[in-house]
Amino acid sequence: MAASFLDTPIEYLKGIGPQRAEVLKSELGLFLFRDLLTHYPFRYVDRTKFQSVREVSEDLPYVQLRGVIESLTTVGVKRGQRLVAVFRDSSGTIDLVWFQGHKWMADKLKTQTEYIVFGKPTSFNGRYNLAHPEIELAGTVDMKLRSAFQSVYSSTEKLKSKGLDSEGLRKLIRQLISQIPPNAIEENLSEELLSDFKLLPKMEAMKQIHFPDSNSLLQKAEYRLKFEELFFIQLKLLRLHHINVKTVPGAVFSKVGDSFNDFYNKHLPFQLTGAQKRVVKEIRTDMGSGHQMNRLLQGDVGSGKTLVAVLSMLLAIDNGFQSCLMAPTEILANQHFVTIRELLGPMGTKIALLTGSSTTKERKLIHTQLESGEIKILIGTHALIEDKVKFQNLGLVVIDEQHRFGVAQRAKLRDKGKVPPHILIMTATPIPRTLAMTFYGDLDTSVIDEMPPGRKPIRTSHYMETQRLRMLGFMKEQIALGRQIYVVYPLIKESEKLDLQNLQKGYDDLVKEFPQPQYQISIVHGKLSSEQKDFEMQRFVKGETQIMVATTVIEVGVNVPNASVMVIESAERFGLSQLHQLRGRVGRGADQSYCILMTSYKLGADSRTRMETMVRTTDGFEISEVDLKLRGPGDIEGTQQSGVLDLKIADLVRDGQIIQLARTAAQTILNEDPELNLEKNKDLHKGLIQREKTRPDWAKVG
Ligand code: ADP
Ligand code: MG
């Protein structure tokens, strides 16, 4: 009985007929009482205070005025017709304007009568006005009943035409709250949580969030509801993690054998960094546990993730298993193939490359050799997950730069082994810690937080167009020192044609500035065939060309240690994480490296912040925090599909601290009671099930 009240369709609420119900559903997705109740206010306004007309400015989100209407005039013709009321208080006058329903308002309003008006000021022809303000006869208003925290709800034009503006919605919600039977809103957090975190009970929080009695109760209500929302996400993710770890069997990599040892002792080109050692150990322990590994490996560009992948794959070989490594682009797959073949070649390990450009003949051979178990390591692009590709005994899947792979594609990989293969996801796209906790909250994480020794921090400068000559001079100096240079142009779909023209023009200008035969310049962009791209890349890799003009195809993964200058053209058009990725292409050798951000003279505030951030720091995590603040979590790559952004009240940017608390709380509870069977946790269990019922998408996280 109790639960069914909240599940009542909204048309059963007094004041909502079939028509209003229809728009509430189509415009706001509100179907049930519970949906209306969680249509939270997006801000609160103080209705106890008045402003004077003289104080009105467009910077104020709203004003409340008290005064008299001096005159009422209908002006304009046809659709432009409107009612203008000149409203005066002791400090001056302002126009009140009605476009819709102006005839009705003209009849209703009286001059020389005192009113209270409330609305958003805008300016028109140098005069302030309030369009469609709320207006009441001053004599009928009891100010003692006015709230200093009146809720404001988001609405739409369609809703407004049905009388459901913020005010209309507030009335409905007040009506609904007054009808809630005792205990209809069940507490879904445990007593323990309520007292440990001093949280308001659910019903109280619901009332206070819509109709706060004081600022402090409003804060408490917000805190309680945010905590609840984030807590259940974390509980869900950590249970998923628990289920993975405890119940999904995985290949047991119990021993460290000849392949690993040989490589480690004889062929390792350099000492592992402390961070690499630690991470390899974490992976080894995980893969030896008998359960499937699901691990995220985060490490800034150039931190040496490839080597960690190689060592993990050698462990697979030592335990009789095959591995594959999946890269987002052919160029990157190629480069991984070359690097890994060089590393493992001396030991005779059989490695193969499978991409979209592999010929039918090559494919056939690879398929046969995979099924016979001859190939130990397969490297490739998404061609790897085609159904035709069958392994004899796949034990480990490494995914580089996972944000380009969808959840479904990853799931497909899991079915490729006899037991689900271990999964290692590598990413250099820095994400703030609190976000990672939510987006990858069901994965174990390892972090490489140390760069290989001898790296000098890249020096970054921001040049305006007027300083181009200086930049060209600098390029000449560096080339004279034997270095190589990237010059990168933006290329986005919407302006592809123009972008390609810019790239071509940039190339032509450079050819004039750096004439043959003294200088050689490569050019690479997405419109070239993969053979052409490969040919040009190889010329640069071998040092035959000094300058590589390119679009962002070089963004991910390319490794040319001798390239020490990265020039980014129209840098204001790139996002921060992209700029950071691009800059990571240099600084891989022993030489001092440089990044030059070229922009036009006029920059918006956000662009300026991006340039300043790049110049100030090379720390990927710091950059990601700035990025998050500038763009909001919705735009961070790969997060759109995850469903966790469908938050009703919590904010992943501002509520990082609550995320941390909620995760720790969820972890503590699951450590003691993984199945949530204890009596004291039964509300949590119910709450979790309830949430999954109402949030179908949410299960896809991670
Ligand atoms: P990323 O983490 O961006 O994938 P890579 O694996 O491509 O980084 O490594 C970047 C460069 O650093 C490569 O040239 C690699 O050979 C080198 N490198 C990796 N680990 C070490 C180390 N421990 N000491 C010195 N150089 C290293
Ligand atoms: Mg890499």
Cα angle for residues 307, 312, 315 (degrees, 5° grid): 130
Query: Quick one: pLDDT band at residue 403, thresholds 50, 70, 90?
Result: low
DSSP state of 455: P
Closest ligand 1 atom, residue 448 Cα: 2
Cβ pair 607, 572 in contact under 8 A? yes
Cα 405 to averaged position of ligand 1 atoms, centre (Å)? 23
Q: Above 90 in pLDDT, residue 444?
A: no
Q: Which residues are near ligand 1 (CB < 6 Å)?
A: 270-273, 276, 299, 301-307, 428, 452, 559, 561, 588
Cα 400 to averaged position of ligand 2 atoms, centre (Å)? 7
Q: How far is CA 401 from the centre of its chain?
A: 15
Q: Above 80 in pLDDT, residue 437?
A: no
Cβ pair 349, 376 in contact under 8 A? yes
The pLDDT, as a whole number, for residue 213 is 93
Cα angle for residues 556, 561, 564 (degrees, 5° grid): 90
Considering Cα of 221, then 227, then 230, then 236, what sign does the dihedral take? negative
Close Cβ partners of 406 (under 8 Å, ≥ 6 residues apart) = 641
Please give the Cα distance from 192 to 234 (Å, whole number): 17
Close Cβ partners of 244 (under 8 Å, ≥ 6 residues apart) = 291, 292, 294, 442
Q: Above 70 in pLDDT, residue 162?
A: yes
Cα 302 to averaged position of ligand 1 atoms, centre (Å)? 5
pLDDT tens string 411-432: 676 677 778 899 998 987 666 7
What does pLDDT average to over the chain?
87
Query: Coil, helix or strand for 387?
Result: coil
- Pocket test residue of 270, 343, 447, 591 for ligand 1, highest count of atoms within 8 A of CB: 270
The pLDDT, as a whole number, for residue 146 is 85
The stretch 20-28 carries a mean pLDDT of 93
Indicate which residue's Cα is closest to atom 11 of ligand 1: 302
The pLDDT, as a whole number, for residue 451 is 87
The stretch 372-393 carries a mean pLDDT of 89
Closest ligand 1 atom, residue 309 Cα: 6
| Residue 21: Cβ-neighbour burial (10 angstroms; 0-12, 13-18, 19+) | middle
- Pocket test residue of 306, 344, 560 for ligand 1, highest count of atoms within 8 A of CB: 306
pLDDT tens string 480-529: 999 999 999 988 777 788 888 888 999 999 999 999 889 999 998 878 88
Query: Quick one: pLDDT band at residue 386, thresholds 50, 70, 90?
Result: confident
Indicate which residue's Cα is closest to atom 22 of ligand 1: 452
Closest ligand 1 atom, residue 454 Cα: 25
Indicate which residue's Cα is closest to atom 27 of ligand 1: 452
Q: Above 70 in pLDDT, residue 109?
A: yes
Q: Above 80 in pLDDT, residue 407?
A: no
Kindly identify the ligand whose nearest atom is closest to the C-alpha of 452. Answer: 1
Please give the Cα distance from 264 to 91 (Å, whole number): 83
Cβ pair 45, 82 in contact under 8 A? no
- Order of all β-strands in the sheet with 484-488: 459-464, 594-599, 563-568, 484-488, 547-550, 521-524
| Angle between helices 166-179 and 202-210 in degrees, nearest 10 | 150
pTM for this one?
A: 0.70
DSSP state of 386: S
- The residue to which tokens 């800034």 are assigned: 300
Please give the Cα distance from 40 to 475 (Å, whole number): 56
Query: Coil, helix or strand for 345?
Result: helix
Cα 452 to averaged position of ligand 1 atoms, centre (Å)? 7
Give me 573's structure tokens: 């058009």
Q: Above 70 in pLDDT, residue 556?
A: no
Give me 596's structure tokens: 């030059």
Please give the Cα distance from 685 to 675 (Å, whole number): 9
Inter-CA distances, 29 with 10, 640, 683, Å: 11, 19, 27
DSSP state of 249: B
Indicate which residue's Cα is closest to atom 19 of ligand 1: 304
Cα 424 to averaged position of ligand 2 atoms, centre (Å)? 13
| Residue 680: Cβ-neighbour burial (10 angstroms; 0-12, 13-18, 19+) | middle
Closest ligand 1 atom, residue 307 Cα: 6
Query: Quick one: pLDDT band at residue 642, thresholds 50, 70, 90?
Result: very low
- Pocket test residue of 271, 279, 297, 303 for ligand 1, highest count of atoms within 8 A of CB: 303
Cα 270 to averaged position of ligand 1 atoms, centre (Å)? 10
Cα 568 to averaged position of ligand 2 atoms, centre (Å)? 20
632: left (phi over 0), alpha (psi -120 to 50) or beta: left
CB atoms < 10 A from the CB of 516, how many?
8
The stretch 453-458 carries a mean pLDDT of 85
Cα 273 to averaged position of ligand 2 atoms, centre (Å)? 16
Radius of gyration of the chain from its Cα atoms, rounded to whole angstroms: 31
The pLDDT, as a whole number, for residue 2 is 45
pLDDT tens string 241-294: 887 777 778 888 999 999 999 999 999 999 999 999 999 999 999 999 888 888
**The length of the chain, given as a count of residues:** 702
Cα 306 to averaged position of ligand 1 atoms, centre (Å)? 7
Kindly identify the ligand whose nearest atom is closest to the C-alpha of 301. Answer: 1
Indicate which residue's Cα is closest to atom 4 of ligand 1: 305
Cα 447 to averaged position of ligand 2 atoms, centre (Å)? 14
- Pocket test residue of 264, 267, 296, 307 for ligand 1, highest count of atoms within 8 A of CB: 307
Query: Quick one: pLDDT band at residue 204, thresholds 50, 70, 90?
Result: very high
The stretch 120-131 carries a mean pLDDT of 89
